[in-house]
Structure 1
């Protein structure tokens, strides 16, 4: 395993982690709002060996630097390109969850040389409205992340998960997110509508949704995935916005099947 930093165009240092053989099929994973690259830990434990796996922390999250808010989606897309170029990865299967899925769509449009196939997980071409995001930004400016934490957990996880012992740890992780980074990414989501560019994409695409997702409901995910001809859509039952946490085995199996279908695995 190699850890490193790539430097974005504006000087922001982006933390990345690279695992697997240099010649393995490239898999790139982009985290959701309020998480970091550890979002994927349990899934990676269940994937086939031999993959070249790149994870990174979105700006303002995890071990990446936290420039002042607001951020633009174009900047986040450029960050992803910077990370892949730094790792010398092209022709990847890019997996993005929530805001990471928006970045995936933008990267596939801007740098098709970097993306062979897409997995759009719990995401959409447009999420919410500018008014909704501004209300969230205002609430955080007033009361901090703690003021929205319970609502976020309700959107992130299914009812059964919220009754279990692991919820407290994920709530704590959420509260460790740098506030400025969270606000910056909220602004990026608020300003993004990818319906037209995503509808122009022509590459293998898998859409994944959670049946109990309170942030990006399954029908919203399906609507976006259906913009891309030939795409496939799958619902992971009894999971919320982070199915990679609630059902890592099923999530990894869906990825493995897709990698096989697209020729990345034998």
Structure 2
């Protein structure tokens, strides 16, 4: 479908499923595009109008100069919903997508139905890791980050057993715009949802990967404790849990949405 304008930035959007079904919006991790959800869409689109998009700086969306912020990403989402004439959507966001979901849950309550926050974080008290990563990408580019990135994203066993998936994810990662990637890193570095998460009213499921070094299970547990009534689910995977355990992930989300 045509790209949607979000304050001058073209956002690449793909919609699958019945027009009259409840909406379910999916939001990607840093350094990926909307195709990271390919394993889930066939099942989910039987029940929902599934909306996927490339975040600014990623995939086929624009990469205007930074700085970016979680509010900026949230307003991009609202622009997509408005363009598609969707009043309310369920939300499933992984990693950075879960960060955007936390902003939406607190600041756009009337637009969010159920909220799934997967393999994500709410605040980085120690910002040195992001400062170092930004410096690394500025000096050496994304290609030099592929190896360490895949080690964070997937367990050793999965990487060794699934070379095709690794090739696909490497291609996806290298398709990110370096300047857009850096601007996204800056937004992650600066986010802090400590005060706003307790104001979220949407029914919420927090998913953690038991082997996730990027957003460890304790981060998800803290998010679940902060959001009133939130449920917690653990999946035997590393960071990109929907690709490492596609069947389990698909069912976990679908059971929550249909409950």
Q: TM-score over 0.5 for the alignment?
A: yes
Which residue of 2 is the match for residue 146 of structure 1?
143
SS of aligned partner of 1:13? strand
Query: 1:55-96, CA deviations, whole angstroms, 9 ceiling, x for partnerless residues?
Result: 111001011001123312211111111111111112211111
CA distance in 2, matches of 1:31, 1:7: 19
CA distance in 1, matches of 2:145, 2:167: 15
CA distance in 1, matches of 2:174, 2:116: 27
CA shift, 1:128, in A, is: 6.3
Residue range with higher mean Cα deviation, 87-96 or 28-37: 87-96
Tell me, yes or no, if the aligned pair for 2:11 and 2:55 is still in contact at 8 Å: yes
Which residue of 1 is the match for residue 215 of structure 2?
216
Which residue of 2 is the match for residue 248 of structure 1?
246
Tell me, yes or no, if the aligned pair for 1:70 and 1:183 is still in contact at 8 Å: no
Of 112, 115, 127 in structure 2, the residue corresponding to residue 115 of structure 1 is 112
SS of aligned partner of 2:239? coil
Which residue of 2 is the match for residue 168 of structure 1?
167
Question: Once superposed, which parts of structure 1, at least 4 consecutive aligned residues long, lie more than 2 Å away?
Answer: 45-48, 127-131
SS of aligned partner of 1:95? strand
Tell me, yes or no, if the aligned pair for 1:42 and 1:245 is still in contact at 8 Å: yes
CA shift, 1:208, in A, is: 0.7
CA distance in 1, matches of 2:200, 2:66: 30
- Superposed CA RMSD in Å reads 1.3
SS of aligned partner of 2:40? helix
Query: 1:204-230, CA deviations, whole angstroms, 9 ceiling, x for partnerless residues?
Result: 000111111110011111111221121
CA distance in 2, matches of 1:156, 1:80: 25
1:228 aligns with 2:227: yes
Which residue of 2 is the match for residue 264 of structure 1?
none
CA distance in 1, matches of 2:217, 2:85: 34
Tell me, yes or no, if the aligned pair for 1:120 and 1:225 is still in contact at 8 Å: no
Tell me, yes or no, if the aligned pair for 2:109 and 2:200 is still in contact at 8 Å: no
Q: For 1:159-198, list aligned pairs within 5 A.
A: 159-164=156-161, 165=163, 166-198=165-197
Of 2, 10, 14 in structure 2, the residue corresponding to residue 13 of structure 1 is 10
Which structure 1 segments of 5+ residues have no match? 262-266
CA shift, 1:255, in A, is: 1.0
CA distance in 1, matches of 2:121, 2:203: 17
CA distance in 1, matches of 2:14, 2:196: 29
Question: TM-score, normalization: structure 2?
Answer: 0.95
CA distance in 2, matches of 1:16, 1:169: 20
